[in-house]
Structure 1
Amino acid sequence: MEIGRRVSICKICGQLANGNHFGVISCRACAAFFRRANVESDTFCALGNCQIHRNGKFYCKKCRLRKCLEVGMDVRKFQHDRDLISTSTSSSTDSEPSGSPKPKRRSQGIPVSLASFLGRPAFILSCEPERACRVKTVIDVTFLVNQAMDVLRNGDTRRYFGRDSLENMALKFRELKKAKPNLKILKVLGLKETMHFWEQGFLSTASWLTHFEEFQQLPLNIKMQVLKIAWILWGRLDKLARTADERRRNSFGQSAYMIGEDVFLDLKDFEVDISWCTNYSKDQLVYYLDCHHDEYFNKIVDLLIDLNPTDIELNYMLIELCLHYAGKKHQGEVLKFTDQLMEGISNNLHDYYQQEQISNYSSRLAKMMKIDNLIRQNLYERLERQEVAKVFNIISVHFSHPDMFCDSGF
Structure 2
Amino acid sequence: MQVSKRKSLCKICGNPAFGNHFGVLSCRACAAFFRRTNVDGETFCPIGNCKIDKHGKFYCKKCRLRICLEAGMDANKFQHDRDLISTSTSESSDSSGSFSFSQRSKVPKSMANFLGRPAFILSCEPDKASKVKTIVDVTFLINQAFDIFGNVDRKRFSSNSNLGRMTKKFEDLQNEKSSNLSTIKVLGLKESMIFWEQDFLRTARWLSHFDEFQELPLSIRMQILKVAWILWGRLDKLVKTANERKNQQLNQNFYMIGKDVGIDIGNFEVDVSWCTNYSKEQLAYYLDCHHDEPFNIIVDAISDLKPSDMELNFMLLELCLAHAGKQHQGDVLMFTDRLLEVVSNELHDYYQSEQISNYSSRITKMMKINNLIRRNLFERLERQAVAKVFNIISVHFSHPDMFCNAGF
Among residues 352, 370, 373, which one is paired with 1:372 in the alignment? 370
* Change over 3 Å in CA distance of 1:115–1:355 after alignment to 2: farther
In 1, are the aligned partners of 2:154 and 2:209 still within 8 Å (CA)? no
What residue number does 1:307 align with?
A: 305
- 1:406 & 1:342 partners in 2: Cα distance? 23
Instruction: Show the counterpart of 2:113.
Output: 117
Aligned length: 389
Q: Give, in whole Å, the separation in 2 of the partners of 1:79 and 1:52.
A: 30
Per-residue CA deviation, residues 166-200 of structure 1 (Å, 9 max, x unaligned), is: 22222222222347431111122222221111111
Query: Percentage identity across aligned positions?
Result: 61
Aligned-partner residue type, residue 44 of structure 2: F
Deviates more, 1:128-137 or 1:362-371: 128-137
In the superposition, relative to structure 1, how do residues 11 and 156 fare at CA in structure 2: closer, same or farther (>3 Å)? farther
Residue identity in the other structure for 2:151: N
Aligned 1:55-204 pairs, distance under 5 A:
58-68=58-68, 76=78, 80=82, 82-84=84-86, 116-119=112-115, 122-127=118-123, 128-156=125-153, 159-178=156-175, 180-204=178-202
Amino acid at match of 2:61: K
| Alignment partner of 1:355 is 2:353 | yes
Are 1:47 and 2:47 matched, yes or no? Answer: yes
Farther off after superposition, 343-352 or 150-159:
150-159
Does residue 214 in structure 1 map to residue 212 in structure 2?
A: yes
| Per-residue CA distance 1:250-281 (angstroms, 9 max, x = gap) | 35332111111111111222222222222333
- Name the CA shift for 1:347/1:157 in 2 (closer, same or farther; >3 Å): closer
Question: CA shift at 1:143, angstroms?
Answer: 2.0
The letter for the 2-side match of 1:167 is G
Deviation, 1:203, is 0.7
Q: Which TM-score applies when normalising by structure 2?
A: 0.82
- The Cα of 1:7 is off from its aligned counterpart by 12
The letter of the residue matching 1:168 is R
Report the secondary structure of 2:263's partner residue. strand
**Residues 118 and 281, structure 2, Cα contact 8 Å, conserved in 1:** no
CA distance in 1 between partners of 2:174 and 2:273 (Å): 31
| Alpha carbons of structure 1 residues 328 and 122: separation in structure 2 relative to 1, 3 Å | farther
Tell me how far 1:335 sits from its aligned partner. Answer: 0.5
Matched to 2:263, the amino acid is L
Q: Which residue of 1 aligns with 2:404?
A: 406
**Which residue of structure 2 lines up, in the alignment, with residue 385 of structure 1?**
383
Instruction: Flag the 1:24–1:163 CA change in 2: closer, same or farther, 3 A.
Output: farther
Offset, 1:372: 1.2
User: Match of 1:125, SS?
Assistant: helix
In structure 2, list runs of 5 or more residues that go unmatched. 95-101
Amino acid at match of 1:268: G
